[in-house]
Chain A
Amino acid sequence: MAVIEIKDLAKSFGEVQALDGINLKVEEGEVYGYIGPNGAGKTTTIRILLGILQADRGTATVFGRDTWQDAVEIHKRIAYVPGEVNLWPNLTGGEIIDLFVQLRGSNHKSRREELIERFDLDPSKKCRSYSKGNRQKVVLVAAFAAEADLYLLDEPSSGLDPLMEKVFQECITEFKEEGKTVFLSSHILSEVEKLCDRLSIIRQGKIIESGSLDELQHLTRTRIVLETKEEIPSLNDLNGIHDLKKQNNTHSFLVDTAELDQVIQHISKFGVKKLESSPPKLEDVFMEHYRGEVGES
């Protein structure tokens, strides 16, 4: 059964079309990445999944239930971490963690202590004196201490230092091993690349690409740096070659991953002295779409 299923979801705020016909399916036990630039509609999607915004069109279900109608039932099984955290200034971090844990009705004293230790959080300080990163930790501990089946994370590691980011990634990996489902919205590409099984790219309220990392990589280009014994004539005429630069007998260019085979066959005739290739990264997939309408460059 799909844990999250979104069909033709649309939402506008006045003139602004925040979501425009989104389709998405997250299976149980998956870590699903949701990437896109600021203002693309990531947070709006998550808020609809939380049932705090009402969609104009389409359906969104979590655990097969409608997110707007059955919000309370759904929330008993999910944990949420927002990217921007504001807490009550005159309560301590520990009080807030307990409040959140209580509101959801589960109690995991040992897990709470373990997480506080792992995230190196001082729970006795009032929230007004926490830095952004520490407020983020309070919410992470509160969310991760809960026994949830689905973790909804909206740019959760913003404000964390690299050390804490690593702890965060370890936690996600553990959830994955336990068979939990994670929906991770982010623009930190390395994080998504490291953690996610599948992902969707959203831009201007539309999902422009979905699939596993491998599936998406066919859309990208591999960078090749090549030195040959003989001059290669008319390299530019080959299909799928871009951004060609030439210096003596050294060529540097991008190849569409789909055309890689025929390009390699062609160049091998000219006596390859040196060949370097760098694999496609998520960043390239992202940048590709980020450039959007500009397309070729």
Chain B
Amino acid sequence: MQTSYFHNSGRLSRLILRRDRLRIPLWLIIITALTLVIAFAYTTLFTTQQEIMVFAETMRNPAMTAMMGPGYGLDNYTYGAMMAHTMLVFTALAVAIMSIFLVARHTRRDEESGRIEMIRSLPVGRLSNLSATTLISLAVNIIMALLIGIGLFLLGIESMDLQGSLLYGASLGAVGIFFGAVTALFVQLTANTRNAIGYSLIFLGISYLVRALGDVSSEALSMLSPLGWITRTQVYVNNYWWPLLLTVGMALAVTALAFKLNSLRDLEAGLLPAKPGRKTASSWLKSPLGLALKLQRTSLLAWAAGIFILGASYGSVFGDVDAFLESVEMYREIFIIAEDIPLVEQFIATLMSVMALIAAAPALIMILKVKSEEKASRIEHLLSRAVSRKQFLGSYLLLSLAASLFMLFLSALGMWSAAAAVMDDPVNLSLFLRSALVYLPAIWALIGLTVLIIGYKPGAALFSWIYLAYSFIVIYFGEILQIPDWLARLTPYGYVPKIPLEEINFPALIILAVISIILMAAGYRGYRQRDIQLSG
């Protein structure tokens, strides 16, 4: 390709840095800090070799393999192996999401909003924006790899040597680079930012599921997933570097394809054809609730499918869990909590708490649309007609509440249907349903908080996501680490009984529900009284 295709790429890279001067450091700090804190936490939580070996036994569990990747070095388990096994896939997901948003934000979003048209009218090459974005994605991921690699080494934990630490960081960096490249490719295919991000996230989700299924059942299947590749590095035990070469090599190939497609297509066009829409509105669209549903239908369906499939893939390991538990007597002795509850059901509780955290995301997306509609000044088209603010907010709230119920129901159904297929002695659906739906008040509390924020300080909406992320970290790692109780008590999820491990606790649930209602009512009040914020 001609050099003029890349004219002024350097200046555009600097523009990206200028625009993301807070965003990029924030991502880097959060991901690095999380890694280092967890690594350090392991050394304080497991102080004797016996505790470490007990943990290693837990890690032999297929449910753990499905969630985190295959265990390795279990016979002589170390902090390093423990760290890499439990954290690598989880952190890789965060890094992939960072890269997806980074690349989509500076390519398709800018193009869709017409800003690239302005840039391209200047002496700037056809591929300059993509190359600037790719350059920044590379740089961010390499810096993160070094920060994490050197940081882990500097913790001075035995078994976390320099080579292993650098490989750990580099594995994450490679995943980031790969998913950045994948996003750059999807950006060429669709003319719309939401679709580009959606396809990339779906690709990430499929990579996770393929790895989960593959790690439990077939090595070949795992090797189809980039997340499967990097878990084959066996960091801190065998330190294989070839999976990184594979990941980065594939990333280069995908990037080359993205560049080629970008050089061929028109600006603001996607290579996939857009379908013509309806010429008239269907009857159910003609109400605020109908509009709210229509606007978010695709996202809702995608989440529903994703949650069902994730539930099913977790459920599919139950057959192996059964067999595994029978073979490990020691494990039975250590982890038994109540004699009369089969151990399988305890895994239902663990997996369901993760599902319930994920299920909160679509519910928040539904309600936060109120804010984005306001920010984009589209709300005035409704409020200037015979739609009250109460009706407007109410439509989205109703949708959000319905989504929370729907998503929890699907997680239970997904997990149950797969579990029932693989287990000799299936657990009945009602147990799964109870285990899932008990989280309803916790999600409502998150929705209530979001309504409150929308009512008084819509600019702070990001807080809802941070709070959900906090809940996720506390609950997810609470399953593995002994996190102090008060940390879990800071999130509504900390008050939800783990069914069937614990008895259902009605007072706690009722209090949660009442708090949610109060938050929603307060948010309503604020929303009716404050100024609608219109831009330009």
Q: Which residues of A contact B (CB under 8 A)?
A: 13-14, 47, 50-54, 70-73, 75-76, 78-80, 82, 84-88, 90-91, 95, 99-100, 102-105, 128-132, 135, 139, 152
Q: Are B535 and A129 in contact (CB under 8 A)?
A: yes
The residues of A that contact B4 with a CB separation of less than 8 Å are 70-73
Q: Would you give 24 A-B contacts (Cβ < 8 Å), ordered by A?
A: A13-B269, A47-B117, A47-B267, A50-B121, A52-B120, A53-B266, A71-B125, A72-B125, A75-B123, A76-B123, A80-B118, A82-B121, A85-B114, A86-B115, A90-B19, A95-B18, A99-B15, A100-B122, A103-B8, A103-B11, A103-B122, A103-B124, A105-B123, A129-B536
Cross-chain contact of A100 among B7, B118, B126 (Cβ < 8 A): B118
Q: Are A128 and B19 in contact (CB under 8 A)?
A: no
Q: Are B121 and A87 in contact (CB under 8 A)?
A: no
Judged by a CB distance under 8 angstroms, whether B354 is at the interface is no
The residues of A that contact B7 with a CB separation of less than 8 Å are 72
Q: Are B124 and A80 in contact (CB under 8 A)?
A: no
Judged by a CB distance under 8 angstroms, whether B405 is at the interface is no
Judged by a CB distance under 8 angstroms, whether B277 is at the interface is no
The residues of A that contact B507 with a CB separation of less than 8 Å are none
Given A91-B19, A103-B11, residue A86 in contact with residue B123 (CB < 8 A): no
Between A13, A54, A71, A90, the greatest number of chain B beta carbons within 10 A of the residue's beta carbon is seen for A71
Cross-chain contact of A104 among B123, B125, B126 (Cβ < 8 A): B123
Residue of A nearest to B15 (CB): A99
Cross-chain contact of A132 among B114, B125, B536 (Cβ < 8 A): B536
Q: Are A75 and B266 in contact (CB under 8 A)?
A: no
The residues of B that contact A88 with a CB separation of less than 8 Å are 19, 110, 115
Interface size class of B (residues with CB under 8 A): 20 to 34
Q: Are A52 and B117 in contact (CB under 8 A)?
A: yes
For the complex, what is the distance from the CA of A78 to the CA of B120, rounded to whole Å?
Answer: 12
For the complex, what is the distance from the CA of A51 to the CA of B15, rounded to whole Å?
Answer: 22
Judged by a CB distance under 8 angstroms, whether B113 is at the interface is yes
Q: Are B536 and A52 in contact (CB under 8 A)?
A: no
For the complex, what is the distance from the CA of A254 to the CA of B372, rounded to whole Å?
Answer: 54
Cross-chain contact of B536 among A82, A135, A152 (Cβ < 8 A): A135
Q: What 6 additional pairs, Cβ within 8 angstroms, besides A54-B266, A70-B4, A72-B123? A: A51-B126, A71-B126, A80-B122, A91-B19, A104-B122, A135-B536
Q: Which residues of B contact A (CB under 8 A)?
A: 4, 7-8, 11, 15, 18-19, 110, 113-115, 117-126, 266-267, 269, 273, 535-536
For the complex, what is the distance from the CA of A56 to the CA of B491, rounded to whole Å?
Answer: 58
The residues of B that contact A14 with a CB separation of less than 8 Å are 273
The residues of B that contact A86 with a CB separation of less than 8 Å are 113-115
The residues of B that contact A103 with a CB separation of less than 8 Å are 8, 11, 119, 122-124
Q: Are B121 and A152 in contact (CB under 8 A)?
A: yes
B485 smallest CB distance to A (angstroms): 40
For the complex, what is the distance from the CA of A86 to the CA of B115, rounded to whole Å?
Answer: 6
Q: Are B114 and A128 in contact (CB under 8 A)?
A: no
Residue of A nearest to B21 (CB): A90
B189 smallest CB distance to A (angstroms): 16
Residue of A nearest to B5 (CB): A72
Q: Are B535 and A75 in contact (CB under 8 A)?
A: no
The residues of A that contact B122 with a CB separation of less than 8 Å are 75, 80, 100, 103-104
A240 smallest CB distance to B (angstroms): 43
The residues of B that contact A78 with a CB separation of less than 8 Å are 121
The residues of B that contact A100 with a CB separation of less than 8 Å are 118, 122
For the complex, what is the distance from the CA of A35 to the CA of B117, rounded to whole Å?
Answer: 21
The 6 closest A-B pairs by CB, nearest first: A80-B121, A52-B267, A75-B123, A86-B113, A72-B4, A103-B122
B279 smallest CB distance to A (angstroms): 15
B19 smallest CB distance to A (angstroms): 6
The residues of B that contact A71 with a CB separation of less than 8 Å are 4, 120, 125-126
Q: Are B536 and A131 in contact (CB under 8 A)?
A: yes
The residues of A that contact B267 with a CB separation of less than 8 Å are 47, 52-53
Q: Are B121 and A75 in contact (CB under 8 A)?
A: yes
The residues of A that contact B123 with a CB separation of less than 8 Å are 72-73, 75-76, 103-105
The residues of B that contact A105 with a CB separation of less than 8 Å are 123
The residues of B that contact A135 with a CB separation of less than 8 Å are 536
The residues of B that contact A51 with a CB separation of less than 8 Å are 120, 126
Residue of B nearest to A101 (CB): B122
B115 smallest CB distance to A (angstroms): 6
The residues of B that contact A152 with a CB separation of less than 8 Å are 121
The residues of A that contact B11 with a CB separation of less than 8 Å are 99, 102-103
